[in-house]
Chain A
Amino acid sequence: MPKRKKEITISVLLLLPAVIIFAMLIIYPVCNTVWLSFFKWKGIAGQPKEFVGIANYLKVLTGNSFWNSMLNSLYFMIGGFGILMPLSFGLALIVTSNVRCRRFLKTSYFMPVILSTTAVALIWVYILNPSFGALNQFLDIVGLSNGKKDWLSTPTLNVWCVVLVNEWMYAGYNMLIFVAGLIAIPDSIFDAAKIDGCGFWYRVRYIILPLSKGSFKIFAVLCITGCLKVFDLIWAMTKGGPNNVSSTPAIMLYTEAFTYKNFGKSSTIGVILLMTGIVLSLGVNRCLRYKED
């Protein structure tokens, strides 16, 4: 069967590059991270790795800093559902309505995503700067000098600053998710509603919201998995400081490995992060599927 043999050869040749890259840089590292999470290792090549069983897991899960970083991820989630979701949905309603300059509005709403996280972070670092930042200068101008703060060094406040910058950056992106849902709603439904004399709020409540369920589901999955992975914004804005109060699991993973050289412990955080991510996204998927039935 030379033809079948040829087919197999071509299949292997075309698949091979993808499989090799994926195996070498995703599958092997993930397995290795799981393996390393049971060892104590200072990251020096050649130095023996000491098997410590689940000691790393106990250390991480009983330590305050890990739970603090999870709490910060939770803030990102609260911000995501409490601020980002209504904001992006509102923006989506605006750009799909017949307001003037729709295209200009849509283009400007979406712009921050394109700028890349580090640049966005630094733009805001200088706006929030305590000595000359635009925000404090603005407070001076409007006569609220008492409200001036060292935004990025005050514990908890700084996490919320980063959360808000995160919403600023991704509002336009999430708006597009809702826009995709909104433009899929057939015009005939709106025409019918118009004939029945439905007001704006009725339309939102009884037509748009029920028919945008799919968009909300996509948003929920992206938001929950995204919140666990926050790294760039925090790193560029606070570096997790002061004293790790603003660190997220991803930041903690990085500093444990490359600042404190606890490679085993860092791997443990990696495994926990991976597991939580998978469990949460499967969980959200399942929950929302039940609701749809």
Chain B
Amino acid sequence: MKGKSTNRAGKISIGKILTYIFAFFWAFMTIFPVVITFLSSFKNNVEINTGMFSLPKVWRFSNYIDAWKLAHIGRAVGNSLFLSFATTVLVTVIGISASYILARKNFSVVKKIYTLFLVGVMVPIHCTIIPVSALAGNIQAKNEYWFLVLVYTAFNLAQAIFLYTGFIQGIDKEMDEAAFMDGCGEIHLLYKIIFPLCKPIIFTEAIFVFTFCYGELVYSLTLLSEESKYTMARAVLSFTGNHTVEYGPIFASIIVAVFPMLLLYILFHEKIQAGMMAGAVKG
């Protein structure tokens, strides 16, 4: 209810009109490019050339079939979803386990390891491509998803540990002691008590990890060369780079590529926004 221009009972001020115009203008600006892409995905070249803004005269679903067959966009989206899912699970499990120790134990090594992870947050992903791709070459891990998942995990681990450790430190230690009194082991405590309590922060980090992995480009460029293993970003890029004669299928492939994330967003937009907000402020 804040930051709004004070105008006396129902009187419409110019400021208010301008605010509305700008508010809806920007909403239009964010949605319209996606709408244009969607409309173009049903057109043929002639229609695209003559008018990107008009509705397609015939809804050519065949463009989607072409995108599916020529760009293998369905497979690529599946690959990306799999990678994102695997990475998210791995980051969560490994991250929470480590954070529990980092937050609760007082060994001197523990503090040093925590500092190391904090410094790791600052490493840009590109600084490590050469050694990592050389490593992948040496252990025959190019085109292997398990390696890509490990690389993605490594890059998200530092931030995850930073967020989780902060969160677990905020959980009352008496909880642990009560659990130990009841004869609860540490593993049990971690997975039955700490883990459920951390749900909000896990969700926040999971959104970051999932969106990062779904669109990741640099490592899928360097580590993947087999076409059947291409991720979404890789497949769409190589399809558009092919100078295909028909543009319709290209637009269709873009729409298929954004569809899963758009669907997730439409279903969970409140939670995603809240989670991103929490993460952005802490990170």
Contacts and interface: CB of A to CB of B under 8 A. Distances in A.
A149 to B, nearest CB: 17
Interface residues of B, number: 98
A96 B23 contact: no
Contacts of A134: 33, 36, 52-53
Contact of A22 (B27, B53, B117, B126): B117
Contact of B132 (A15, A29, A108): A29
B61 interface: no
Contacts of A254: 126, 129, 218, 221
B40 interface: yes
Interface string B153-197: 111011001000000000000000000000000110010000000
Interface in B114-167: 116-117, 120, 122-132, 134-135, 137-138, 150-151, 153-155, 157-158, 161
B236 A122 contact: yes
Nearest to B52: A134
Nearest to A108: B27
B120 A22 contact: yes
Contacts of B24: 105
Contact of B240 (A19, A109, A125, A168): A125
B186 A10 contact: yes
Given A11-B110, A187-B2, A26 B130 contact: no
A91 interface: yes
B116 to A, nearest CB: 7
Contact of B98 (A15, A116, A126): A15
Contact of A116 (B95, B211, B221): B211
Contact of A113 (B27, B132, B153, B211): B211
A33 B131 contact: yes
A180 B277 contact: yes
A118 B176 CA distance: 45
Given A108-B27, A200-B6, A45 B137 contact: yes
A270 B130 contact: yes
Range class of the A interface residue count = 35 or more
Interface of B: 1-6, 15, 19-20, 22-24, 26-27, 29-31, 33-34, 36-37, 40, 48-49, 51-53, 94-95, 97-98, 100-102, 105, 107, 110, 113, 116-117, 120, 122-132, 134-135, 137-138, 150-151, 153-155, 157-158, 161, 186-187, 190, 211, 214-215, 217-218, 221-222, 232-233, 236-237, 240, 247, 250-251, 254, 257-258, 261-262, 264-265, 269, 272-273, 276-278, 280-281, 283
Given A108-B30, A111-B34, 12 more contacts: A18-B157, A32-B130, A107-B273, A110-B273, A111-B262, A115-B261, A118-B236, A172-B30, A176-B280, A232-B233, A258-B221, A270-B130
Q: Which 5 A-B pairs have the closest CB atoms?
A: A116-B215, A29-B128, A25-B154, A18-B98, A29-B131
